[in-house]
Amino acid sequence: MPNKEFEFKAEDLILLRKFIKNPLSYFGRSVTNTLNQLAFESRTALINTISEQMTVRNNDFLNKKMKVKPEKGIDIRTAESEVGSISGPRFSGWIEQETGKKPETNRTFTLLARGGNEQNQARPKARAKPSNNFAKISDFTIKAKSRQHRLIIFLQMMVDQKKQFIMPRKYKRMGRGIYRIKRKKIVAVQRFGPVKVRKAPWMKPTIQREIDTKSIRSIWASNINRVLPRRLK
C-alpha cells in the first residue's frame, strides 16, 4: 500500500506559504489574545481575593477600581496586558494592604457611623462633607476662664442643641474627630489620627497563583487555533 503520511493538497501548500510569509500577524494576534485572556481572568481572581481578605462594602466600587488595560497590537516584542487596581483622589487602590505602606488617610468611621453594622458604608450625614456643616468651637463666642473651660462649655452647648460637631483636640477619653449627640450622650462617628492597616498582600500572590495553575501553552494553542482559520482563508 502507498504511504499517505506525507500526502497533501496543492491548496494546502498555498496556505502554508501564506502563513510562512507573514507569521508575525498570526502569532502576534494569538499572543495578544492570550495575554488579554490571562489579564481578564486575573482580574476576576483579584476581585475574589479582595472579597475574601477584606471587608467589601460596595461591590460596584470594587469592580470599577479593578481594571484591565488590554494589549491591542500584534508585535510580540512589545506586547503586554496590565491588570490591577486604580487609585483616586481619596482612594489608594489597596496599596497599603499589598505593600504595608503607611496609609495617607487619617480618618476612620466608627460602628455608629455605619448604622451599627461593620459591613455597611458610612452614612452620608457622618461624612466630612461641606454640606454637613459640622459645628466647630470657632463658630461661637464663648467667654471662659481657660481653654479647657471653653471646650467644656462648647460640649455642653452641643448636647443642648443636639448638633454634630468637630472635636478640635483630646479631652479626657475623647480624641479628635466628629461627634454627635445620642440620647444626651456624646458619641463618635469619625475619629481623626493615624490609621493602622494590616499588611495582607492580595495582588502578587493571586497573579502568581493564576500563572502557576493555568496551562498557558493550552490557552495559547486555543487562541492560535481561533486565529489561523480566519487568517488563512
pTM: 0.72
- What contacts 145, CB < 8 A, 6 or more positions away? none
Count: domains in the chain: 2
- If asked whether residues 188 and 203 sit together in one domain, one would say no
- If asked whether residues 203 and 163 sit together in one domain, one would say no
| Residue 1 placed within a domain | no
- If asked whether residues 182 and 203 sit together in one domain, one would say no
- If asked whether residues 177 and 68 sit together in one domain, one would say no
| Residue 19 placed within a domain | yes
Candidates 136, 128, 112; CA nearest to 192 is: 128
Query: Which residues is 192 bridged to in the sheet?
Result: 107
* Residue 103 grid cell: 496609609
- If asked whether residues 16 and 30 sit together in one domain, one would say yes
Compute CA distances 165 → 127, 135, 141, 148, 160, whole Å.
Answer: 12, 4, 16, 17, 12
Candidates 68, 79, 69; CA nearest to 45 is: 68
In this predicted structure, what is the pLDDT of residue 4? 44
Give pLDDT tens digits along the chain (233 positions): 344 444 545 665 565 566 556 666 777 888 899 999 999 999 999 999 999 999 898 999 999 999 999 999 988 889 999 999 999 888 899 999 999 988 888 888 888 778 877 778 878 777 877 677 889 998 998 888 899 999 999 999 999 988 899 998 888 888 899 999 988 889 998 888 888 888 999 999 999 998 888 888 888 888 888 877 554 44
**Host domain of residue 116:** 107-192
Q: Which tens digit of pLDDT belongs to each residue from 76-112?
A: 889 999 999 999 888 899 999 999 988 888 888 888 7
- If asked whether residues 149 and 187 sit together in one domain, one would say yes
| Residue 4 placed within a domain | no
Residue 106 to residue 123: CA distance in whole angstroms: 18
| Residue 2 placed within a domain | no
- If asked whether residues 150 and 128 sit together in one domain, one would say yes
* Residue 175 grid cell: 480624641
In this predicted structure, what is the pLDDT of residue 13? 56
In this predicted structure, what is the pLDDT of residue 6? 45
In this predicted structure, what is the pLDDT of residue 209? 92
Residue 212 to residue 37: CA distance in whole angstroms: 15
- If asked whether residues 123 and 52 sit together in one domain, one would say no
Helix (H, G, I), strand (E, B) or coil at 190: strand
